[in-house]
Amino acid sequence: MMTFDVYPKEGKTFSLKCTALTIAGGGVDLRNSDSGHPEHGFLPLSRIAAIIPRQSVMTQETKTRFLVYLAGRESFSFFADAFSSENDKVTFQMRQNDSSGRCEELTPVEDVYVDLSEVVAIFPSSMETPSE
């Protein structure tokens, strides 16, 4: 089961746990099959600025920390190798290495949603300057 932080366009950030998250059409289907009986939830994308999975400490130690600033909201961090922005959303990417350790390609990180229209800025934390 994974924990996700949900950043609505209005209102407070909240967290949820589920075993599967599917982004399709105009919403996010949430499924939880660990409880012995199927559970289902739904989030309309029109009301969501971002949905971010909590990441392992190992991922945090080996990837670049990107800072994401949303319009009128608090910022959050996401650890990845790269990101791209297209089709009205942000896609974070991880490097996939072959058996010799060489990078084969960047692949999208699953279960992440960031509405590009809500983004004020995304940049590596190394570019951040202390506030005065």
Domain map (residue ranges) of the chain: 2-127
Beta-bridge partners for 5: 15, 52
Judged against a pLDDT cut of 90, whether residue 20 lies above it is answered with no
**Does the pLDDT at position 51 exceed 70?**
yes
More confident residue, 56 or 12: 12
Residue 4: how many CA atoms within 13 Å on its side-chain side?
25
Element (H, E) at 62: helix 57-62
Provide the strand spans (E) within the chain: 2-8, 14-18, 20-24, 27-32, 39-44, 48-53, 64-70, 76-80, 82-86, 89-97, 103-108, 113-114, 119-124
Give, as one character, the DSSP assignment of residue 115.
B
Task: Kindly report which listed range (45-49, 83-87, 115-119) carries the lowest average pLDDT score.
Answer: 83-87
Q: Which two tokens stand for residue 60?
A: 């945090």
Bridge partner list, 3: 17
- pLDDT, tens digit, for every residue of 77-105? 999 999 999 888 899 999 877 777 777 78
Give the whole-number percent of the chain exceeding pLDDT 90: 46
- The pLDDT confidence band at residue 36, using thresholds 50, 70 and 90, is low
User: Regarding predicted confidence, which is higher, 37 or 95?
Assistant: 95
| Average pLDDT over the chain, rounded to an integer | 86
